[in-house]
């Protein structure tokens, strides 16, 4: 066994009428002058989910993802502008297809493929001569329809989402029509952007220009056309300068309005205004823009290898955690950024977009921290915000959430949504998440495995799956990955190959794992420290089995007002609160929804002294639940038992737990009401306390 990394050169041939690719690489990497990456995405469909992940995708197929056109026809039905109609013509249709299409090809489901292909074909078959594609602009003013976004059809922003759809479609089918459309469109962009910049109709385009830039680089790697690098520079110039703002240190001027950075900052940008912007500002930035924009400096880093771009993104994650962070890996942002209080909302769109940003940055940087963070979101924040049958969602979740009801919350946008933001519904809150949430699990699946620049494979994010890919000099191999991760610590890989072949397998050992064990064919044992990518370069034979054991230790983290969260491996643990669900038959524009009320005690404090020896005072238990779907309180596979005390005076108002009592507080023995509580994974909860106050017991 040895460790090595080989950098392979790349060469391509391209003509406008005939697109072909010749390369020494088995899979597409960046071509010069872009930075060569270590990891490359596999074709869509090469990775098949197994276990609970497959069950999750099947629930999506049978739920909202597979049937949104029937459930939400007024927006994503046949009258949508992306199908040639005069209805909704902005972001929501492409949002849905951005999740539906990868789901269709991962599951190899012909019905879902047909639905997605209808949207793809319309774009491919209706591109204008000048290169524009998408909904046709109206020639005269049109009547407004409540809940339907009919206008601003020429906005650059929704095209960026559809470009992602077309990229995924090409990766699954190699349909050359995609390349023809992109060539015409990007030439159109290069000509048009100087007169009509990314924010000429709305500011969304300049905040999210990184999504546009990413596809330009992808297309350049196929074609090698020099004009694309010129276009990339122009798109970066017109994109909100996230890297500059992330690095701002001493901000002397507070934001003038709660939406200061949201409302202004059009291209060209005023440097004096930029100097006074920081992620430290409450309300200064839109939460989804941050989740999408955070990747732009690293996307651009592939062309301009300025180390400050890397530093800027690292600084952004630090500031988000410090000034707005919650224990499940997200940040308080009930549309604008909203601080660290664990009752502040987290928008579902920002969860799936942050996951996509982390997936994008992981391929560019091979940074283990991005993979660790991605798993934290996927295994905690993502599953809790959608109902088990994938038929309703929450617009906002929170780390401490003890009632879900149509009562006033301290959410910035909840008045506009008539306090439905935390309710489980279809169009409760705001409908953007109803359409955008579908990309989370399919793209997570697509990023479980990567091809590597040294002609091997990489498993950097873990879940049960099977991958089929080419390695070495083009030999096809398969790996079956069997695991109940993240609930247990063992991952088993079985190789299938028609012939013995040497190639490297890259395995991530997370930062939270102090020491991993690698076992090959039950007899070759090695121990490896955490926070690294282990490269196993060896000869593989049919039937070879490798086990990766990632021991998970209990640990705590400190949050708002010195509250404490309990973690084990990639999972954050929350108080198990019994749930009472109430269906609301609703006649207004928010339609039917569910409220959820606590049916057990919730206002507990953990014992400060117990935190000093977690292994002694906190008991981890396996619950031996065998359900294929683990993400609810009934099916949770694991739990932690701990002592806690009822917290006097900690109560809820309009369904919200009052601010966390300052930790640690002192309570005398005679005032204590000690109980054994059960903590279960955050993703298994609907109601929860995640960031606990603590107490000192005094005599």
Total length of the chain? 699
94 assigned to some structural domain = yes
Report residue 622 as tokens.
């396996």
Count CB-CB contacts under 10 A for residue 394: 30
370 assigned to some structural domain = no
Q: Of 526, 549, 572, at which residue does a domain stop?
A: 549
Domain check: are 573 and 664 in the same one? yes
Nearest to 348 by CA among 281, 287, 410: 287
For 275-291, give the DSSP string. Answer: TT--TTSTTSSBHHHHH
Least confident of 429-443, 509-523, 629-643, 649-663: 649-663
Beta carbons of 209 and 238 less than 8 angstroms apart = yes
Q: Where are the alpha helices (DSSP H) in 239-379?
A: 242-246, 260-263, 271-274, 287-293, 296-301, 307-324, 348-365, 368-376
Domain check: are 632 and 529 in the same one? no
Domain check: are 521 and 658 in the same one? no
157 assigned to some structural domain = yes
Domain check: are 575 and 523 in the same one? no
* Count of domains forming the chain: 3
* Structure confidence at residue 82 as a pLDDT band (50, 70, 90): very high
Q: What is the dihedral of CA 309, 219, 113, 375, to 10 degrees?
A: -20
Give tens-digit pLDDT for 543-594.
999 999 999 999 999 999 999 999 999 999 999 999 999 999 999 999 999 9
Give tens-digit pLDDT for 628-664.
899 999 999 999 999 999 988 899 998 999 888 877 7
Give tens-digit pLDDT for 460-507.
999 999 999 999 999 999 999 999 999 999 999 999 999 999 999 999
Domain check: are 580 and 619 in the same one? yes
Domain check: are 574 and 625 in the same one? yes
Domain check: are 528 and 564 in the same one? no
683 assigned to some structural domain = yes
Domain check: are 523 and 623 in the same one? no
Beta carbons of 8 and 40 less than 8 angstroms apart = no
400 assigned to some structural domain = no
Q: Of 549, 574, 590, at which residue does a domain stop?
A: 549
Domain check: are 617 and 495 in the same one? no
Domain check: are 469 and 615 in the same one? no
Domain check: are 121 and 226 in the same one? yes
* Torsion angles phi and psi, residue 266, rounded to 5: -90, 155
Domain check: are 202 and 57 in the same one? yes
Residues spanned by the domain of 590: 554-698
Beta carbons of 105 and 99 less than 8 angstroms apart = no
* Structure confidence at residue 253 as a pLDDT band (50, 70, 90): low
Q: Of 178, 209, 239, at which residue does a domain stop?
A: 239
């Amino acid at each position: 066994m040895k460790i090595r990394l080989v950098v392979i050169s790349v060469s391509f041939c391209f003509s406008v009428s005939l697109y072909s690719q010749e390369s020494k690489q088995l899979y597409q990497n960046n071509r010069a002058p872009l930075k060569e990456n270590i990891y490359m995405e596999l074709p869509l469909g090469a990775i098949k989910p197994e276990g609970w992940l497959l069950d999750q995708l099947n629930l999506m197929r049978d739920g909202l993802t597979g049937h949104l056109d029937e459930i939400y026809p007024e927006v994503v039905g046949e009258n949508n502008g992306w199908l040639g109609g005069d209805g909704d013509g902005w972001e929501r249709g492409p949002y849905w297809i951005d999740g539906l299409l990868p789901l269709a090809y991962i599951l190899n489901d012909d019905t879902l493929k047909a639905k997605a292909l209808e949207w793809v074909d319309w774009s491919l078959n209706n591109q204008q001569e000048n290169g524009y594609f998408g909904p046709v602009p109206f020639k005269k003013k049109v009547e407004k329809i409540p809940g339907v976004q009919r206008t601003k059809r020429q906005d650059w922003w929704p095209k960026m989402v559809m470009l992602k759809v077309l990229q995924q479609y090409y990766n699954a089918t190699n349909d050359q029509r995609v390349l023809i459309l992109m060539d015409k469109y990007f030439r159109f962009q290069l000509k048009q952007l100087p007169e009509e910049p990314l924010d000429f109709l709305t500011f969304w385009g300049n905040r999210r220009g990184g999504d546009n830039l990413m596809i330009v680089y992808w297309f350049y790697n196929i074609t090698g056309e020099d004009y694309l690098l010129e276009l990339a520079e122009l798109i970066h110039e017109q994109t909100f300068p996230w890297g500059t703002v992330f690095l701002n240190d001493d901000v002397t001027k507070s934001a003038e309005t709660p939406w200061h950075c949201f409302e202004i900052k059009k291209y060209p940008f005023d440097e004096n205004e930029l100097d006074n912007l920081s992620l430290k500002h409450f309300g200064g930035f839109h939460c989804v823009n941050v989740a999408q924009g955070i990747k732009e400096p690293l996307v651009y880093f592939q062309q301009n290898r300025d180390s400050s771009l890397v530093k800027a993104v690292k600084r952004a994650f630090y500031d988000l955690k410090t000034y707005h962070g919650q224990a499940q890996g997200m940040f308080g942002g009930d549309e604008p950024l909203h601080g660290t209080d664990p009752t502040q909302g987290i928008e579902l769109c920002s969860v799936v977009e942050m996951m996509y940003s982390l997936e994008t940055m992981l391929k560019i940087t091979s940074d283990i921290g991005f993979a660790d963070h991605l798993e934290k979101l996927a295994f905690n924040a993502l599953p809790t915000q959608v109902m088990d049958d994938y038929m309703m969602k929450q617009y906002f979740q929170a780390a401490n959430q003890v009632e879900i009801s149509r009562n006033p919350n301290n959410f910035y946008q909840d008045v506009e949504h008539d306090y439905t933001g935390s309710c489980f519904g279809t169009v409760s809150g705001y409908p953007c998440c109803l359409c955008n949430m579908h990309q989370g699990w399919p793209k997570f699946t697509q990023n479980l495995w990567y091809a590597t620049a040294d002609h091997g494979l990489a498993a950097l994010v873990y879940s049960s799956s099977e991958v089929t890919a080419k390695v070495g000099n083009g030999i096809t191999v398969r790996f079956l990955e069997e695991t109940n991760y993240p609930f247990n610590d063992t991952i088993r890989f079985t190789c299938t190959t028609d012939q013995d072949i040497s190639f490297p397998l890259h395995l991530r050992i997370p930062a939270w794992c102090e020491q991993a064990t690698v076992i090959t064919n039950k007899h070759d044992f090695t121990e490896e420290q955490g926070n690294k990518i282990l490269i196993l370069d060896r000869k593989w034979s049919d039937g070879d089995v490798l086990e990766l054991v990632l021991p998970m230790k209990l640990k705590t983290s400190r949050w708002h007002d010195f509250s404490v969260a309990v973690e084990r491996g990639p999972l954050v643990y929350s108080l198990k609160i019994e749930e009472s669900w109430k269906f609301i038959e609703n006649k207004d524009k928010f339609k039917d929804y569910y409220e959820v009320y606590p049916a057990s005690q919730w206002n507990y404090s953990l014992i400060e002294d117990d935190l000093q020896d977690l292994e002694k005072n906190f008991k981890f238990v396996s619950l031996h639940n065998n359900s294929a779907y683990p993400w609810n309180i009934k099916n949770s596979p694991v739990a932690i038992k701990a002592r806690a005390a009822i917290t006097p005076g900690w109560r809820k108002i309009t369904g919200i737990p009052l601010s966390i009592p300052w930790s640690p507080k002192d309570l005398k023995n005679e005032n204590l009401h000690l109980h054994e509580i059960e903590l279960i994974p955050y993703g298994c909860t609907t109601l929860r306390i995640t960031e606990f106050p603590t107490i000192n017991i005094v005599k």
